[in-house]
Structure 1
């Protein structure tokens, strides 16, 4: 059961080990990178990355990272900048309890606060893909690919 103290918090020296300890189901490992890789990417990409621990009470139950204002393909997208969901990891013991839905909605709220009109997400296709999860939250496929991953978008208005 999700508590009333569910929130996203920055990754800090105090919660770093707990955040890195978030482990998804083994059958999902081909679908999403581990948290430690996400934190390395956040470090490498600086202000473009927005990494957060998903915390329920005092317990870290997941990790989410947004990307902020990345340059897309100006030829294909005249606005040329996009923000959205980069990574979502919910601990295997806490999946199916609404934590992922909360984390995505919290990221969408942050993007709205920053003035973004649309949010984007990519995912690995195939068996076990999170595609139904994202489509269930209102994302719609754009027909674009980012590498070999489909791109989906959600209007934030």
Structure 2
């Protein structure tokens, strides 16, 4: 991985096939939806979805999608608006090289730029869970559940 060539790019006609071809390891398939589903959700929720290809040089190595300014629990508190990581897929043959960490940090930077003070994420609990990955990046459990998934939060202090 070359940090100079590593970046997030919009999903475009030029890279959509490579983005859709991303698949995680077989033991992770039950933990994260396929990229094609994420892109359909991004289309359906275009006002809050921020889908991006993770690119190293000219190679698409993963996919990340953020959610921006979603009312979390409007039935309880309409002021509880959140942003965070909606989906993260790194190609099975490219895992363990820092691409996921880069993507989470890049999304955090984008959310901070947009004025968010926190980033949220959910994960499936149990064997092979990405929970240790997110906790290692500084997320902490909130004690909440989104469906059956624990919710984590990362404080985003202002850049400076």
Q: What's the TM-score once normalised by structure 1's chain length?
A: 0.97
Structure 1 unmatched runs, 5+: none
1:10 maps to what in 2? Answer: 10
Note if contact 1:2-1:98 (Cα within 8 Å) is conserved in structure 2: no
Residues in 2 aligned to 1:135 and 1:76: alpha-carbon distance in whole angstroms: 27
> CA 1:156–1:50 in structure 2 vs 1: closer, same or farther (change >3 Å)?
same
1:145 maps to what in 2? Answer: 145
Residue by residue, what CA displacement relative to the aligned partner does 1:1-37 show, whole Å, maximum 9, x if unpaired?
3342100000000100000001100110000000000
2:101 maps to what in 1? Answer: 101
1:41 maps to what in 2? Answer: 41
Note if contact 2:118-2:153 (Cα within 8 Å) is conserved in structure 1: yes
1:52 maps to what in 2? Answer: 52
1:64 maps to what in 2? Answer: 64
Q: What value does the CA root-mean-square deviation take over the aligned residues?
A: 1.1
CA drift at 1:77: 4.6
Residues in 2 aligned to 1:47 and 1:74: alpha-carbon distance in whole angstroms: 17
Structure 2 unmatched runs, 5+: none
Residues in 2 aligned to 1:74 and 1:33: alpha-carbon distance in whole angstroms: 26
Residue by residue, what CA displacement relative to the aligned partner does 1:23-76 show, whole Å, maximum 9, x if unpaired?
100110000000000000000001200000000000000000000000111455
> CA 1:108–1:3 in structure 2 vs 1: closer, same or farther (change >3 Å)?
closer
